[in-house]
Amino acid sequence: MATMTSTQSQPQVKREGNISDSFASLSGGNRAPLPERFLELKKSLAAGHEDQIVASWKRLLAQLKQENKILAKEGSKVVPSLEFSNLEKDLTRLRSEIKMKGVAVIRGVIPENEARAYKDDIEEYGTSESVRGAVKTDERLALLKPRKFHLIITDSYICRSYGGSVERWEKNGYGLGGVYDKVFEGSWEEYDPWDASTRASAVMDNYNGLGASSMFRMFQGWLSMSNAKGFEGTLLVNPLLQLSTAYYLLRPFFRPVKESKDLSTEEYLAADNWVFAGSGMTSELQAFLQGATPGTGQELNAVLHPHLELDTSMVHMPEVKPGDFVVWHCDTIHAVDKIHNGQSDSSVLYIPICPVTEKNAKYLVRQRNAFLAGTPGPDFPGGEGESKHVNRPTVSYLQSHANSQGLRAFGFEKLVTVESDGPGALRVLKKANEILGF
């Protein structure tokens, strides 16, 4: 670990791997202690406002306890659901709820039969050396409407990508944009998860991790290609966006006075059983960031993050049909159901939501080059990918199947302005087009 350094200055092609390489708990190795510099980092984050952090922790635990009870009772019913056919009105009606929960389901974005056809096409492509019959459709435009952003990032068939782990605390990570400053100052209530301006300059992949995200995704999202509900391999989320984020960021600064084996659950979780781990800024504040290991995704579990009560606060997404679109904030805690009692598979297309930024435009150039070469996207494990696949999609294929809006999203046409764009948006679009070569 002592030799681990940041790789943010120069993008690198990632080695071959699979989803297990994205998480320390799946990689087969032990979670090694973090270097001493992370202890110094934690001290510097807390310096000068230790009392405020302690007070904010107590407020946070009280609020979590209250909200967790509601989640345990309500389950999937707390997830906002919108109709694509009534999108604008539903967004207006549910805006505050979506901002609080950080998740939503948009019904009927793509006709059901068409969404099912996507799955058939992908299965054919994945099992055949000769690819034919991809759906040529204007309905793909519907996917761009609820996103209202310009860029597309390619993703694996059923593979998740995460916004780093230790980078959330690092000053040369999320600290570059001051994303979580309010949380570390002891004012988590003032932290705005929706302030995208702080995230544009943040670095989420300082260690070239397999599956780590270097492209800024305001939302993660997927389009369902099958029917799925709870306990059928669907998504689970923690719909307490601000609270859960503040908790896993502050958790490394606190320790229990007595361990869980010596107390009841209620006594163990009680605020008076938890103390600031760095009183007097001594070495007691360990170089440990619960669930975070450089180069892998942030992990959460009941042992490391007990106050989240993940066994009951992780709720299934409501039942979805082919063509329904699910979105969740980039900080939202999420997982794939461990249980699949359904009669068929649960298949989705991951379609994250990526705004136009200078960093994202640079990524799009790299992704465009990877597409032309038939190799995996820059954020994913490397290797030959589809470079030797017969009849893999080409630019001419894209041009015959996508309209200008789709080609712009993929970096093959110049981005255009709209009447509502302000001076800032115009500057970003101009810079992005220069980066893209237009």
The Cα–Cα gap between 382 and 69 comes to 43
What are the distances in angstroms from CA 337 to CA 228, 233, 311?
Answer: 11, 5, 12
Alpha helices in 102-180 (DSSP H): 112-127, 140-147
Please list the pLDDT of the chain residue by residue as tens digits (438 residues): 333 333 444 566 766 655 555 555 544 445 677 898 999 999 999 999 999 999 999 999 999 999 999 999 999 999 999 999 999 999 999 999 999 999 999 999 999 999 999 998 888 887 765 444 344 445 555 555 655 545 655 543 222 336 889 999 999 999 999 999 999 999 999 999 999 999 999 999 999 877 678 889 999 999 999 998 887 878 999 999 999 999 999 999 999 999 999 999 999 999 999 999 875 445 556 788 999 989 888 899 999 999 999 999 999 999 999 999 999 999 999 998 876 666 677 789 999 999 999 999 999 999 999 999 999 988 888 888 888 888 888 999 999 999 999 999 999 999 999 888 999 999 999 999 999 999
CA-closest candidate to residue 374, choices 362, 360, 388: 388
Tokens of 230: 């709870």
Give me the pLDDT at residue 281, please: 47
Tokens of 274: 């938890």
**Structural contact between residues 209 and 339, judged by C-beta atoms closer than 8 angstroms:** no
Amino acid at 256: P
Q: Which run of H or E residues covers position 367?
A: helix 358-373
The Cα–Cα gap between 106 and 239 comes to 16
Tokens of 134: 């991809």
The pLDDT tens digits for 51-60 are 999 999 999 9
CA angle, 112 as apex, 109 and 114 as ends, to 5°?
A: 90
CA-closest candidate to residue 260, choices 313, 310, 306: 306
What are the distances in angstroms from CA 215 to CA 6, 62, 204, 377?
Answer: 17, 35, 8, 11
Q: Which run of H or E residues covers position 275?
A: strand 274-276
91: number of Cβ within 10 Å: 16
Beta bridge partners of 328: 103, 220
**Structural contact between residues 435 and 358, judged by C-beta atoms closer than 8 angstroms:** yes
Give me the pLDDT at residue 33, please: 78
Instruction: Extract the runs of DSSP E, i.e. beta strands, from 27-183.
Output: 81-83, 103-107
Instruction: Extract the runs of DSSP E, i.e. beta strands, from 4-137.
Output: 81-83, 103-107
Q: Which pTM was predicted?
A: 0.86
Contacts of 408 (CB under 8 A, 6+ apart): 150, 414, 415, 416
The Cα–Cα gap between 19 and 112 comes to 29
Evaluate whether the domain defined by 19-355 bears CATH number 1.20.1050.10: no
Burial code of 167-198, b = ≥16 C-beta within 10 A, e = fewer? bbbbeebbbbbbbbebbbbbbbeebebeeeeb
Burial code of 267-292, b = ≥16 C-beta within 10 A, e = fewer? ebbebebbbbbbeeeeeebebbbebb
The pLDDT tens digits for 147-206 are 554 565 554 322 233 688 999 999 999 999 999 999 999 999 999 999 999 999 999 999
Give me the pLDDT at residue 388, please: 86
Tokens of 121: 């096409």
Reduced to 3 states, what is the DSSP secondary structure of residue 350?
Answer: strand
Please provide residue 81's backbone torsions phi and psi, each rounded to the nearest 5 degrees: -125, 130
- HSE at residue 81, side-chain half, CA atoms within 13 A, is 11
Give me the pLDDT at residue 109, please: 97
CA-closest candidate to residue 185, choices 373, 336, 49, 386: 49
Beta bridge partners of 232: 340
The Cα–Cα gap between 124 and 132 comes to 8
Q: What percent of the chain has pLDDT over 70?
A: 82
Amino acid at 333: I
The Cα–Cα gap between 150 and 424 comes to 15
